Chains A and B, each alone.
Chain A
C-alpha cells in the first residue's frame, strides 16, 4: 500500500544515513520526499538543472557555487546519499554532540567542517588557498555588474590584507578560520533548524 517513493528507501539505508549524517528518521524521510520531488527525471539522481529549477536558489547570487558543492569532482549527478552528506553540513550542532567521543570520525556538521565548507566555496581551484583572483571571482558573483573592477579590486585587497598573516597574499584555511570566528557565530549562521 506504500507509494513508489517510500518503498525505495529501505530501513537499512535510513539507518546508514542516520549514522553518517546524524539526521533523525523523520527528517530523512522528509528529505527523501524532497529529493524525489526535485528529481524530475525519476532516475534516483539529481542533476544541476534539477537544482536550478528551484526559483529561490536560481536567484541566489552564489547559487551556482552552492549547487556545485553537491557534485563530486567531475560528476554531473548526485544520488540521495551524496545529497544528504552535503546537507548534513547544515545540521545544527546539538548540545549532546559537543562533547562526544574524540576517537570517532568528526561529524559532518562540526564547526570545523562547516568552516571547511564555506572555505571551499571561495577556493575555486581547490588548492587550499584563497587567492586574490578567486576572491575577486566570488565577489563578482555576489555584486553582479554594479561595482567597477577597480572598486572590487580594492575591496579584495583590503580583505586579504586584513586576514593575511604569513604575507603570501593568499588566505589559508587557518587564516580564514581566525578571521571568521572573530566576528561570527558559525554554528548559528551555518545551520538550518528543522521544526520537528
Chain B
C-alpha cells in the first residue's frame, strides 16, 4: 500500500513538473531556457569527446573525409567525349574499357544507394548506433558514454514519451472539440491555436531545436509549401512555426485517429488509398483547395519518400501541375545530435520513434525561400527542377536527377536504352558504317 502511495506521489510530482516546466510554457510559446542550457551542455560534451578521440588515436589517422565527397576519383567526362577523343569513334575493342570502368566505379561507390542510408559522421557523437568505425579509446570516454546511456534511456526517454503522449492526446481532444464549432473565423483561429500548441509540445518531446530563417517568406494562404523530405517529423518541424493543410494517405491505427480528428477542425486533405492512384482526382482536389484563398497552404513533399538529408532527389511533377504559388522550404538536420532520417526499409515507425527519442536532440535549420511561380515557357518538370535547385542550394544539399522511388523499385529500362542510343549515335555518326561499304570490296 505504502509503495503504491509513494509511487503515486512521485507520479504526481513528475506530471506537475512536466506540465509546469514544459507543457505550459510551450503552449504559450515561451521558453524557460532549460533546453538552451541542455544544448549548451551537450555541445560542450561532444566537443570534449571529439578532442579525446583525436588525441587518443593510436595510429595517425588520415583526416576523415566525409563520404559525400566520394572515396574514389570520378571522371565525369561524357561518354562521347571520352570514347571519341581517346579511343577513336570507330568501334574498337578498347571501347569496352569505358563501360567497364564506369561499372566498377558504380560498384565501389554510387550516388544513389548511399542516399538511402544514414549519413556517416565525422566524429563519434557518443551514441552506440553511430559507432561504426570508432573503437574503444579510453576509460573516460566510456564513462561519459555510460552516463549518456543512463541519461538518455532513464531520464530523457520517459520524459519525451510523456510529452509525446500529452501532445498527441491534446491534439486529438482539442481538434475534436474545435471541430464541433460551426465554421467561421472563430473556429479557424481556435484550430490554429490548437495545432500550434500541440506541435510545440511535440517538438519539445523530441528535444527539438529549430532555427527558422527568412520568416518573411513564410507560406501564405492559398499557396503550396514544398520541402525536402527526410523523416515523418518534418511535418511537425514545419507546423511548429505555422499552420498548414496536410496532404496524405489515410492510415489506420493511431495515425488514422489523429487524421480523423484533425480534419474536423481544419481542412486537411486526406486521400483514401484507392484515390491516391488516380492522379487526376488528386490534382483536382488539390487545385480546388488552392483556389480557395482562405484555406491554409498545403504542405507537400515532392520527393515522395524519405532521403537521408545529404541530397535532394527528383521532385515528382504532380505537385507542380496544380498551379498557384510555390513556397519552397529547405530543411537541414544536424546529424551530430541525432539522426532524423527514417530508413523505412530497415526500421518500422515504432523503432524509428524510439531511436529519435533516445538521441541527444533534433537540431535543424529551416529556410523559407522566396515564393516561385511557373513561368510561361516552363513545363512542370522544368519548374520542379528549378524549385529543387533552389532548395538544394539553400540547404547545402547535392542535387540528384534520380528518383527517390529507387529505394524500392528497379531503375527503368529507358535509362539503359538512352545510354545505348547515345553510344550508337556516336558509332554511326562518325561514319564507322559508311567507311565499311568502301572497304569491304571482297573479290
Contact = CB atoms under 8 A, between A and B. Distances in A.
Interface string A54-77: 111111111100100000000000
Interface in B57-114: 62, 65, 69-73, 86-88, 90-114
A87 interface: yes
Contacts of B270: none
Contact of B103 (A5, A26, A60, A158): A60
A157 interface: yes
Contacts of B87: 183-184
Given A34-B109, A121-B100, A154 B415 contact: no
B428 A57 contact: no
Nearest to B98: A189
Given A51-B107, A144-B424, A158-B440, A196 B71 contact: yes
Given A1-B128, A30-B71, A194-B72, A60 B102 contact: yes
Contacts of A194: 71-73
**Interface of chain A, main secondary structure:** helix
Interface in A139-196: 139, 142-147, 151, 154-155, 157-159, 163, 171, 176, 179-180, 183-184, 186, 189-196
Interface of B: 62, 65, 69-73, 86-88, 90-114, 117, 128, 131-136, 142, 145, 402, 406, 410-411, 415-421, 423-425, 427-428, 432-433, 436-437, 439-440
Contacts of B71: 30, 194-196
Contacts of A37: 113-114, 117
Contacts of B69: 195
Contact of B93 (A6, A143, A159): A159
Interface in A95-128: 117-118, 121-122
Nearest to B61: A26
> Can you list the 6 inter-chain pairs with the closest CB atoms, starting with the nearest?
A144-B420, A146-B424, A56-B106, A66-B103, A59-B415, A193-B73
A143 B93 CA distance: 14
Contact of B131 (A3, A55, A117): A3
Contacts of A193: 72-73
B96 A118 contact: yes
Contacts of A62: 96, 99-100, 103
A60 B416 contact: yes
A45 to B, nearest CB: 15
Contacts of A6: 132-133, 135
